[in-house]
Structure 1
Amino acid sequence: MFESTRQAITAFMEESGKSQRQLSKEIGLPTSVISQFLNSTYPGDNQEVAKTIEQYLSVSKERLNIVSGINFYPDLYNTKETLFCCYYSHRHNDISLISGDAGAGKTTALQYYADTHTGVIFVTANAYITTATAILGLICKKLGRQVPGRRAALMNTLVEQLSGANRLIIIDEADHLSLDALQAVRNLNDEAHCGIVLSGNDKIYRQMLSPRWGYEFEQIRTRIIVRKKVYNEYTEKELETIFPGLNQACIGYLLKLACAESLRTARKLYEVAAEVAAAQKQALAVKHLRDTQKQLLGEVMG
């Protein structure tokens, strides 16, 4: 009775490379239920399981058909500036800062470095990870170590693990960190001599450069020799490499959007517009980009 659903989810697993464990996380069903359903041995409500799986497939199949066509461009100016911070801090076991406009490609470049180099610990601060204990605990978890309850013990664990290891810690969204957290990161660099890259928006840059923030930030600022800033400013050549195969009109449209909004916005708009064009069996044109922008952002550029 449910053979078509079993065949559909099996085919999806083969096409996507997802395991039953991964499907369990995404669908919200226990791995044992999925396994028993596939083997026709589930004693519970098979009708409900089949319905849940079919609902999952209705969206997930579409994800497999999303048109990408976006290249990672290591020679993008913003990418080169970000990677320089990583290379410098990793090689010299020092602290560097990369800051600037949101959506300018910092995180993409940082992730690229982490994916292509060994010994890199990549963590992201957020509205809930702001304190010294929170960020040090997150680093400790990434190292696969049990997180001690007391901050002094936590720092000792990290220093013991990182000393002499020539590791690099990348902290994205570091503008969320409190002064106390930034001081703890500085102490970790002092004691373990590990490289650290702080990445964030202009807030963290302003705090470290402005005298009004006081002596504490001055102590952190003077430890950071490499301070890079990136902006949502791009060239036509860069966009041609990021979005290969597009005509000049589309490149011009995306260039204007990337500079006015962000490269992230241009990428997202392109992905959706390309999907629409593919569904219509048409080559991507400015009309698709304009219609998609109006639909997603509620406005179009003049």
Structure 2
Amino acid sequence: MSETNVAPIRSQHDDALIAEVRDAMKSESLSQSALSQLTGVGKARLSQWLNGNYKGSVSGVETAIRRWLDSRRANDELEAQMPAGPDWVETPSARAIIAALSFAQMAESVSVVYGGAGVGKTSTIGRYQQQSPNVWVVTATPACAATGPILSRIAQRVGIRASGAAHLTESAIIDRIRDTRGLLIIDEAQHLTARALDQVRQLAEGAGIGLALSGNEIVYSQLTGGNRSIGFAQLFSRIAKRVRLSRPKDGDINAVMDAWQIDDKESRQLCLGIGRRPGALRGLCQTLRLASMFAAAGGASRPSAQHIRDAWQDLGGES
């Protein structure tokens, strides 16, 4: 009896699962590298599995894949339940921030926006960037507090590669943004050292663009107080507009309530109490979003005072 060629036996793959994953990758524009990070499955194993020729433990790979798909479905369901709400609310404080940013860009000067957390600085900066050309937002962190790291981060934001040496990176950034009538915004600027802040100032001046520094109270106090103020003399003398936001104004809170269509007196009083706390404007928005979910679950079109109270407590707010 003659021997016949027999195809090698491959591990059993779930073809329907592979097809579902490929559809998810296509709909979300996910690369295999990105999918590997999301699922925890190594790139080589994932590639072989997707092509149906993985020889190892298929069940182990597919368990990880199914876990990721289950998490993805749960997130989609939660997002579907989440009320849309306003993307951004034009509060009086937001208008003051935008005016400072606009002036810095138009006049090629320096503006400083500083104050407590949760009053809308970062979200308003994002809104301004969406609506204005040539606006580059760089968020400072302790890891990029010094001159070299912040220059590298700025270079990345304006679309060029850092050249290694700080002076070469500086020159490349200036060449890229010169004559753009742009605005460089450093958010969380309190993290920058004195030398880094002065470098940012010189960068903006060399390119002939505006500069805005945003952060907490330290941003402004370190420019004016103690012996350190001597090192900031040139920067401080160029500050044309200052906006201090210590806590939300009642006008800010009212604008947020109007955007969420909170009309009844009890609910508005409750929201005012939440929003007047330091940094609580962000907390109020989160509370109203959760309260709207509670309302929708009960068939109501908008949250009641009880929904708001329950949401505030559920988020860990103090009574």
**TM-score range relative to shorter protein:** 0.7 to 0.9
Supply the distance in 1 between the matched residues of 2:30 and 2:141 (Cα, whole angstroms).
31
Supply the distance in 2 between the matched residues of 1:57 and 1:289 (Cα, whole angstroms).
33
TM-score between the two structures when normalised by the length of structure 1: 0.85
- 2:277 match: 260
List per-residue Cα deviations over 1:48-73 (Å, max 9, x = no partner): 33322332334333433331332144
* Structure 2: runs of 5 or more not aligned: 1-12
The share of aligned pairs that are identical, in percent, is 23
Supply the distance in 2 between the matched residues of 1:288 and 1:53 (Cα, whole angstroms).
38
1:201 aligns with 2:216: yes
List per-residue Cα deviations over 1:253-279 (Å, max 9, x = no partner): 333212214211112233334334444
Greater displacement, 29-38 / 97-106 = 29-38
- What number of residue pairs does the alignment pair up? 298
- 1:289 match: 308
- 2:29 match: 19
Deviation at 1:281, TM superposition (A): 4.5
SS in 2 for 1:214: helix
SS in 1 for 2:28: coil
- 1:59 match: 71
List per-residue Cα deviations over 1:134-168 (Å, max 9, x = no partner): 11110011222221222222222222222222222
Could you tell me whether the CA contact under 8 Å between 2:108 and 2:208 is conserved in 1?
yes
Could you tell me whether the CA contact under 8 Å between 1:95 and 1:189 is conserved in 2?
no
Supply the distance in 2 between the matched residues of 1:129 and 1:202 (Cα, whole angstroms).
19
One of 56, 67, 91 as aligned partner of 1:76? 91
SS in 1 for 2:143: coil
Deviation at 1:121, TM superposition (A): 1.3
Could you tell me whether the CA contact under 8 Å between 1:98 and 1:199 is conserved in 2?
yes
Supply the distance in 1 between the matched residues of 2:201 and 2:176 (Cα, whole angstroms).
16
TM-score between the two structures when normalised by the length of structure 2: 0.81
Supply the distance in 1 between the matched residues of 2:94 and 2:128 (Cα, whole angstroms).
10
Note the aligned Cα RMSD (angstroms). 2.9
List aligned pairs for 1:24-39, cutoff 5 A: 24-29=36-41, 37=49
Deviation at 1:282, TM superposition (A): 4.7
Deviation at 1:215, TM superposition (A): 1.5
SS in 2 for 1:228: strand
* Structure 1: runs of 5 or more not aligned: none
1:156 aligns with 2:168: no
Deviation at 1:96, TM superposition (A): 1.0
Amino acid at match of 2:71: V
Deviation at 1:247, TM superposition (A): 4.8
Supply the distance in 2 between the matched residues of 1:255 and 1:3 (Cα, whole angstroms).
56
Deviation at 1:195, TM superposition (A): 1.5
SS in 2 for 1:260: coil
One of 214, 232, 237 as aligned partner of 2:229? 214
SS in 1 for 2:220: helix
**Residues 1:172 and 1:7: Cα distance change in structure 2 (over 3 Å):** same
Amino acid at match of 1:244: Q
Supply the distance in 1 between the matched residues of 2:105 and 2:186 (Cα, whole angstroms).
13
| Structure whose CA Rg is larger | 2
SS in 1 for 2:180: coil
**Residues 1:271 and 1:55: Cα distance change in structure 2 (over 3 Å):** farther
Supply the distance in 2 between the matched residues of 1:35 and 1:247 (Cα, whole angstroms).
57
Greater displacement, 176-185 / 56-65 = 56-65
